[in-house]
């Protein structure tokens, strides 16, 4: 074998090694992104359930809660009232109209039956684990309070993942920010993934 053939074989082996290294690195990154996407989908589903529970809690109790035990107990044993609204309009003598609004309570349903009808919530039957982030096991940060907007006190809540799996969501200066629903400073029930 002459030197040219030896160098050709050596360079071919080096090229194959570099190619394997590059493909392995790219595949590892793709698999990691898929893993993060799966975990974030689980977290988003749970945040949606918590949002629905907070909105129902506010509808029944008049304000959001920042206490996990109260929220879990509400989901487990609370009831949502079914109401019907109707209006009657009467024409007054001088041409004006008078509208009377009637709200009738038709009955009530358990919160659990109302909230857990969506198929994505079937996997969250263990209410004791409601406050915990899927996979990581950290506890969601739950905040509820009143803020002043246009000289009116309004209720707000926020539920946030304290330890994001996605590196681009970590830190105070991250562009995306940790997965959260609601806001401490704005009147919203939207999630930051929407």
Per-residue model confidence as pLDDT tens digits over 121-147? 666 667 788 888 888 888 899 999 888
Say whether pTM exceeds 0.95: no
Write the DSSP assignment of 2-63 as a string of letters. Answer: -HHHHHHHHHHHHHHHHHHHHHHHHHHHHHHHHHHHHHHHHHHHHHHHHHHHHHHHHHHHSS
Per-residue model confidence as pLDDT tens digits over 167-179? 777 766 666 788 8
| List of the chain residues with pLDDT < 70 | 1, 28, 118-125, 171-175
């Amino acid at each position: 074998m002459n030197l040219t053939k030896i160098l050709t074989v050596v360079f071919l082996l080096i090229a194959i090694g570099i190619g394997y290294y590059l493909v392995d690195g790219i595949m590892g990154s793709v698999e990691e992104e898929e893993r993060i996407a799966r975990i974030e989908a689980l977290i988003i589903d749970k945040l949606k359930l918590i949002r629905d529970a907070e909105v129902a809690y506010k509808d029944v109790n008049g304000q959001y809660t920042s206490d996990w035990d109260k929220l879990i107990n509400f989901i487990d044993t609370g009831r949502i009232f079914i109401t019907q609204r109707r209006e009657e309009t009467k024409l007054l003598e001088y041409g004006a109209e008078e509208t009377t609004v009637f709200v009738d309570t038709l009955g009530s349903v358990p919160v659990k039956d109302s909230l857990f009808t969506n198929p994505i919530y079937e996997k969250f039957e263990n209410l004791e684990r409601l406050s915990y982030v899927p996979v990581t096991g950290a506890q969601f940060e739950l905040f509820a309070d009143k803020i002043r907007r246009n000289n009116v006190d309004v209720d707000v809540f926020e539920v946030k993942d304290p330890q994001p799996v996605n590196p681009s969501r970590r830190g105070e200066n991250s562009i995306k920010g940790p997965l959260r629903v609601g806001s401490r400073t704005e009147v919203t029930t939207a999630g930051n993934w929407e």
